Amino acid sequence: MTDGGPLELVIVTGLSGAGKSTAVAALEDLGYFCVDNLPPPVLGMTLDALAHGGEHRVAFGLDTRGGSYFSETPQALDELASRKNVRLRILFLDSSDELITRRFSATRRPHPLTKGQRAKVTTVGDAVALEREILTPLRDRASLVVDTTAMSVHELRQTCFEHFAEAEVLEGALRVRILSFGYKYGPPHDADLVLDVRFLPNPYFVDDLRPLSGHDEQVRKFVLERPESRTFLDLTLSLIRFCLPLFRKEGKSYLTIAIGCTGGRHRSVALVEALASELASEVRTRLETRHRDVHRADGANPGSLGPVHLRPSDYPPSIR
């Protein structure tokens, strides 16, 4: 089915309201091709089609919404588990009856076992009890059982990352963008961290440097050879080292660090490039730099975001 190792298949199941949608979304962010609420009789054919299309990490969401089809789940899973080229894992999500009842009450959505002509019970409490009974065979064969009663959405997402991400994917899941900008054109609205470097001497007031940018060596030396610039870089690196694992823990996928000077052409550009260079050599993550306002003084379109610089050559080998 695959040219390399076995196809990774995760079945996400469990009690309705226990967080299956969150888990499926987390797996999707990890690169799994996810299909939710798939009838068990077509699991094998669907997996074959996805493998033929080149997918090697697949997740299926299964629960009692499948109605009468759900009774065929054990047989379908036995068939998948018997395949030599498939590594099957089952994630079962559980939660307390009280919490699930509160969740359905808060969302005002009916429990799957109380809906329509296939309704088997009339109350959420009875539905939860019946669902536990129906799902017992799947819980017994689960590779991982997670009780989400005391978990936040972010904690459940992080749990999925820890158990189902490849090591290099887990390290590189957070994408970091370092942006330079000019305060005279307004701060960026999508920045998570904003740092102001207008305390540094401005190359704009040096006639020979004014037409240049922070990409030019003369400007880089003017900005970076100052002791206060080195101190700024060291303190900023310490801040980022502290924040990155915490942002990852919260399940954040993108982090934008914005550094601003007056016009966004000299100081901020030089410092962004210096910071990105040092950061890329020690932090295993996906990194890019963007200079929003560097071309404005050249008469470029005022709405231009400037060039985007990806730095794959600076990545450690594990994420190249």
For range 118-130, the mean pLDDT: 76
Over 90: is that where the pLDDT of 138 sits? Answer: no
Cβ-proximal residues to 173 (8 Å cutoff; 6+ apart), any chain: 29, 30, 161, 165, 248, 253
pLDDT, one tens digit per residue, over 233-273 is: 999 999 998 988 888 776 677 788 999 999 999 999 999 99
297 confidence band (pLDDT: 50, 70, 90): low
Higher local confidence (pLDDT), 316 or 228: 228
Q: Is 268 exposed, middle or buried (0-12, 13-18, 19+ CB in 10 A)?
A: buried
State the Cα–Cα distance between residues 251 and 176, nearest whole angstrom: 13
Over 90: is that where the pLDDT of 303 sits? Answer: no
pLDDT, one tens digit per residue, over 172-184 is: 557 788 999 999 9
CATH of domain 7-165: 3.40.50.300
Over 90: is that where the pLDDT of 191 sits? Answer: no
pLDDT of residue 306: 45
Over 50: is that where the pLDDT of 136 sits? Answer: yes
pLDDT, one tens digit per residue, over 86-119 is: 999 999 999 888 888 888 777 667 777 776 656 6
Give the CB-side neighbour count of residue 42, counting CA atoms within 13 A: 10
pLDDT of residue 238: 93
Asked if residues 304 and 295 have their Cβ atoms less than 8 Å apart, the reply is yes
Domain boundaries, the chain: 7-165, 174-319
Query: How far from 160 is each of 21, 22, 163, CA to CA, in Å?
Result: 12, 9, 5
Average pLDDT score, the chain: 82
pLDDT of residue 271: 97
Question: Which residue, 180, 160, 179, is CA-closest to 169?
Answer: 160
Tell me the two tokens of residue 205: 């007031």
What percent of the chain is predicted at pLDDT more than 70? 82
Over 50: is that where the pLDDT of 195 sits? Answer: yes
Asked if residues 142 and 73 have their Cβ atoms less than 8 Å apart, the reply is no
Query: How far from 133 is each of 13, 127, 136, 140, 293, CA to CA, in Å?
Result: 14, 10, 5, 11, 61
Higher local confidence (pLDDT), 6 or 21: 21
Local structure of residue 189 (DSSP, 8 states): T
